Amino acid sequence: MDDEIVVLWWWWYRRQNKRRKYWVHPILRERFTLGTFETLMGELRSDGSKFFNYFRMTTTTFDDLLGRLSPGIRVRNTSFRECICPEQRLAICLR
């Protein structure tokens, strides 16, 4: 009986003292600036032919379409997470 109490106390004590090192890991925090979408869109926008092959439209057409659809596909950020930006939503839909 005493052994069970000691084990339960030890288990409870370990569980109570577990602290998080990060709220959001630094790698995940940087994904919005160094992520795949930002990197890919930067490369595609710099080369018009690659952009056209990827989306089957020019950058001006993409920007015009984004301007027209942006109010309808915009979502608010919450305190728990950031939403997907309209540019990314449109890119996902077109791809």
pLDDT of residue 66: 96
What is the spatial distance between Cα 56 and Cα 94, in angstroms, rounded to a whole number? 9
- What φ, ψ does residue 85 adopt, rounded to 5°? -65, 155
**Model pLDDT, residue 18:** 66
User: Which residue in this structure is represented by tokens 């939503």?
Assistant: 89
pTM score of the predicted model: 0.65
In our burial notation (b when 16+ CB lie closer than 10 A, e otherwise), range 52-83 reads: eebbeeeeeebeeebeeeeeeeeeeeeeeeee
Q: What is the mean pLDDT of residues 15-41?
A: 75
Please tell me the distance from the alpha carbon of residue 59 to that of residue 66, in angstroms, as a whole number: 10
Highest averaged pLDDT of the listed ranges 2-6, 45-49, 74-78: 45-49
Give me the mean pLDDT over the 5-29 stretch.
75
Q: What percent of the chain has pLDDT over 90?
A: 37
